[in-house]
Amino acid sequence: MTVTTTAAGTANVSAATANAAASAAATAEATGPQSLTMAKALNTAMADAMRADSSVLVFGEDVGMLGGVFRITDGLMAEFGEQRCFDTPLAESGIVGMAVGMAINGMRPVIEMQFDAFAYPAFEQIVSHVAKMHNRTKGKLKMPMVIRVPYAGGIGGVEHHCDSSESYYAHTAGLKVYTPATVADGYRMLREAIDSDDPVMFMEPKKLYWSKDQVDLGALRAEHDAGTSTEGRAAVARPGTDATLIAYGPSVPTALAAAAAAAEEGRSLEVIDVRTLVPFDDETVCASVRKTGRAVVIAEAHGFASVSSEIVARVQERAFHYLAAPILRVTGFDVPFPSPKLEHYYLPSVDRILDAVDDLQWED
């Protein structure tokens, strides 16, 4: 299928955006390991997907000329034109609802919700249509769309800019929920989400947007083209033997820091990065817990009725006899996400994780 893009449409793109396009093109050509931010990895994933398939469209609020408030769509309008990357009127239900129609009619929309809490006006479309269309039509209509949501705290953001909303989506039958924690996974998982014929809530930990890693885009592209999949595959982010820290998204670096600190005290912690909350990788997570016999689940979201409670339930259902202690959780408190000056007291910290590990009933 072809979508014609008019050159005239891009004529008013600012110099800044044109530069961004040039830098995107430069990234596209680079091979070998290079230092890349998560933001750039996500941006490159979208650009690669748009190059590969003209039915991939990017739209939302401020994603065009501005390149998104986090610049994740930077340069896409300049490269692909205003028909394939564009700003919509300011209405989240409209964005998601229109994406549903586009998905029905042959497109693969990749849409951006500006911040976690600003996706709530779209909740009805997401829950009542995006999640259910495939099931209602017995698979006759697929929903190949990605809803990108910058989420969680840690950036000193003001109210409504820091919610961990993943549990609402994970609780909704019919949605896949991905959340990358590394730069390479940012690329891998977004490409896979765009390829997917199922709707994916793509939860981007906003505090990790500017985290950097050495990644080889050429290798990642080859991996993609070979059809390698991360869906339903948790990663062992750090091997260990004494206890398992189960984390995802923004909490993975915190868990890794805790494991590093514990190692200095002679305790070997394994860190599992769940990567896709739906579908959940019972196998990898339970294998780790069977091996270590102890586990702590870490998440920024409120603990009550959450993804973290689901993880505890699943693991104890499957690995009860291997457990030397109850599985504990370190989560955000069950209070509205606090103001910038108080968020530090709310967020899971290395100390809280280490305290929880200490509480895992070590006999000696």
- Catalogue the active-site residues: 161
Between 228 and 339, CB nearer to another protein: 339
317 contact partners, CB below 8 Å, separation of at least 6: none
Residue among 304, 305, 326, 359 that touches another protein (CB under 8 A): 304
Residue 210, binding choice from another protein, ligand TPP, none, Cβ under 5 to 8 Å by partner class = none
Between 61 and 185, CB nearer to ligand TPP: 61
Q: SS3 string of 111-139?
A: EECCCHHHHHHHHHHHHHHHCCHHHHCCC
Q: Which stretch binds another protein (CB under 8 A): 2-10, 173-181, 287-295, 333-341?
A: 333-341
Beta bridge partners of 247: 273
| Beta-strand relationship, 235-238 and 243-247 | unpaired
Residue among 334, 358, 359, 361 that touches another protein (CB under 8 A): 334
> Minimum distance from CB of 350 to another protein (Å)?
13
Residue numbers at the binding site for ligand TPP (CB under 6 A)? 61, 90, 92, 114, 118, 121
Is the Cβ–Cβ distance between 307 and 337 less than 8 Å?
no
Residues 85-114 that bind another protein (CB under 8 A): 87-94
* 265 lies in the site for another protein, by CB under 8 A: no
**341 phi and psi angles, rounded to 5 deg:** -75, -15
Between 33 and 336, CB nearer to another protein: 336
How far CA 177 is from CA of 180, 201, 306, 354, in Å, comes to 10, 5, 13, 28
Is the Cβ–Cβ distance between 177 and 203 less than 8 Å?
yes
* 83 lies in the site for another protein, by CB under 8 A: no
How far CA 32 is from CA of 175, 219, 221, 224, 315, in Å, comes to 35, 8, 12, 16, 39
* 222 lies in the site for another protein, by CB under 8 A: no
Nearest residue to ligand TPP by CB is 118
* Nearest-5° Cα angle at 173, 192 to 319: 85
Between 225 and 334, CB nearer to another protein: 334
**Which residues of this chain interact with another protein, rule CB under 8 A?**
14, 16-17, 61-62, 64-67, 69, 87-94, 117-118, 120-121, 156, 158-160, 304, 333-336, 338-342, 345-346, 351-352
